[in-house]
Amino acid sequence: MSNVGRAARILEALAAAGVATVCCCPGGRNAPLVATLDQTTGFERLDFFDERGAAFFALGRAQISGRPVAVLTTSGTAVAELLPAAVEGRPAGIPLILITADRPPALRGTGAPQAIVQPGLFGDYAPTIFDGATDADVLDLATWDQLGPVHVNVCFDEPLLDAELPTLALSHRAPCTVHRAPDTSPILSLLSASQHPLVMLGPLRPDDHDGVRQFLLRLGAPIVAEPPSGLREDPALAHLVLAGGDRSARHPSFDAVLRIGGVPTLRRWRDLDRDTVPVCSVNRVPLAGLARGAVVVGSPGTILGELRPPSRPNDAALAGATARDVQIGALLHGEPTSEPGMLRALSRIIPDDAHLFLGNSLPIREWDLAAARVPRGWTVGASRGANGIEGQVSTFLGMCAGERDHWALIGDLTALYDLSAPWILPRLAGVGSIRIVVVNNGGGQIFSRLFKNPSFVNAHDRTFTYWARMWGLYYTAWTAIPQILPSLSALRSPAVIELQPDPNATARFWTAFDALP
């Protein structure tokens, strides 16, 4: 079979697997795929010069769409650039298809130009399911469970464009997810043996919300609902959702933990590895997120929507969290120019029904602690697979779809890690306003609360004026948050909004917060 024929077979297999978006990084060795894609309709095609950014964009697009997304690269070091996104995608169960062009297998291990050993390069994070070097190799994605990335390696010999290019009109099908009947007995066993369980909600898909909500109302137990769960501000659950962050999750009465969705952000979750409290998780990905605890695998909304758990109220824990929330609210009101105080104010002006992306590491934690708990209809996203800060801007832009407001809240070091991300902005069609909010606190200040050694902070005095100018983005700096929405009327899109909190006010806030009971 010709190189061009093999490329056509690959594209047909993508459409059959439900791929709607292809992120293409044109190069020499992947010329058969790029040229054949030029003659193909049926995909959203987005071209990138940066393989790392393309892979993170694909991560966001797959997460928001619920469909697998393909990334096409050339050979050699270009392939290695996909690893960080694969590391994020695997624990989060995000379906990426990493399609890498390769030189003929005989050149592997020889030191020939752009001939590295590509099969197996991603290890467990994207297993190689196809290493096509012969006409007999046919890519079949029908048995792929779509619970994380996979690697498709395609060998092309020269001449690369060795046949007339076909014209393909493809239509992507529904994703071919493999369904399994879950064993729900670990959930009921945990709840039957517990009198005061704590429920921790990590990232959830919107189609899980109804089933999870009904289960939680029947259970009646206290809930830690993190922002990416989509249920933090749910009015039906307001009487059960704990405010006050990590401390509320440590109430001494809790005798079991049921985690629903992705791995939680709170430190309390990590500390469960050193605890004896029973733990059970319900998630689409068969990973416990701890060194112990059962995992029930499947759609949380489907699994829990059918269960009838015993009622497990806990008035003492709820009362304590309510009192703590009042105290934190007073601190935020008293320090409006502190970092948490500015995020509280920001949460009040982001428009209803917006798409909100929360970056690692400090923004997602401070937003959970400080953001107003008022139903606004937001869709809240994050990248919480391996909790890294690489590629966050690209991931956010991959999630930007539809005519709505899109807001990202990221840290300064996070932005510096992904300076090339705005490349794709002019190529996005049918997307509403995009605002990238950079909290510039002069380094990785999450470490200033963990270690006394200033080396961990990576302190700097950079601002983001010239980053915005480089990509033609509107720029503004805020030392205080506008009080009313009309103040945003001059804020053009796409925009970079640099928040510059008062470091002294921030220090006072955290000192007072640490002194709370």
Measuring CA to CA, which residue among 295, 298, 308, 300 is closest to residue 210? Answer: 300
354 pLDDT higher than 70 = yes
pLDDT tens, position by position, 6-51:
999 999 999 999 999 999 999 999 999 999 999 999 999 999 999 9
pLDDT in tens, 120-159: 999 999 999 999 866 556 788 988 999 999 999 999 999 9
Percent of the chain residues topping a pLDDT of 90: 86
pLDDT at 485 over 80: no
Q: What tens digit of pLDDT does each residue of 255-266 get?
A: 999 999 999 999
What is each CA distance from 452 to 141, 501, 513, in whole angstroms? Answer: 50, 21, 18
Q: Name the token pair of 514.
A: 């640490």
How many Cβ atoms sit within 10 Å of the Cβ of residue 168? 17
Residue holding tokens 């105080």?
A: 341
* DSSP letter, residue 131: E
Helix H or strand E encompassing 194: none
- The per-residue pLDDT for 487 is 58
Task: Report how far residue 253's alpha carbon sits from residue 198's, in angstroms, rounded to the nearest whole number.
Answer: 9
Cα separations (Å) of 161 from 74, 138, 168? 14, 19, 16
> Does pLDDT of 451 surpass 80?
no
Backbone angles phi, psi at 29, to 5 degrees: -70, -25
What does the alpha-carbon distance between residue 454 and residue 445 come to, in Å, rounded to a whole number? 10
The predicted-structure confidence for 86-105, as pLDDT tens digits, reads as follows 999 999 999 999 999 999 99
Distance between CA atoms of 467 and 11, rounded to whole angstroms?
Answer: 36
Cα 476 off chain centre by: 26
Q: What's residue 49's pLDDT?
A: 97
Quote the crossing angle between the two packed helices 31-38 and 3-16, to the nearest 10°: 60
- DSSP secondary structure letter of residue 109: T
Lowest mean pLDDT among 274-288, 394-408, 447-461: 447-461
Element (H, E) at 470: helix 465-470
Give mean pLDDT, residues 60-68: 96
pLDDT of residue 129: 92
Q: Strand 355-358 vs strand 379-382: parallel, antiparallel, or unpaired?
A: parallel
Checking if the pLDDT of 478 tops 70, the result is yes
Q: How far apart are CA 88 and CA 95, in angstroms?
A: 11
Q: Is the separation of the CB atoms in 30 and 101 below 8 Å? A: yes
Q: Mean pLDDT over residues 265-281, rounded? A: 95
Query: Rounded to whole angstroms, how far apart are CA atoms 494 and 472?
Result: 9
DSSP string, 425-454: GGG--SB--EEEEEE--SS-GGGGGT-S-G
CB 376 within 8 A of CB 233: yes
271 burial level (CB within 10 Å; 0-12, 13-18, 19+): middle
Q: Pick the range with the lowest mean pLDDT from 27-41, 161-175, 450-464.
A: 450-464
- Supply the pTM of this predicted model: 0.95
> Residues 312-319: what's their mean pLDDT?
96
Q: In this structure, what is the dihedral angle of CA atoms 99, 105, 108, 112, given to the nearest 10 degrees?
A: -90
Q: Is the pLDDT of residue 358 over 60?
A: yes
Tell whether the model's pLDDT for residue 483 goes beyond 80.
Answer: no
What is the reported pLDDT for 336? 96
pLDDT at 88: 97
Residue 328 has pLDDT above 70, yes or no: yes
What pLDDT is recorded for position 156?
Answer: 95
Instruction: Judge whether 121 and 81 are in contact, CB under 8 Å.
Output: no
Q: Which of the four pLDDT bands, split at 50, 70 and 90, describes residue 445?
A: confident
Residue pair 240/220 in contact by the 8 Å Cβ criterion: yes
Q: Do 153 and 130 form a contact (C-beta atoms < 8 A)?
A: yes
Q: Mean pLDDT throughout 274-300?
A: 95
Contacts of 210 (CB under 8 A, 6+ apart): 301, 305
pLDDT for res 174? 76
**C-alpha to C-alpha distance for 406 and 400, rounded to whole angstroms:** 6
Mean of all residue pLDDT scores within the chain: 93
Q: What is the mean pLDDT of residues 196-209?
A: 97
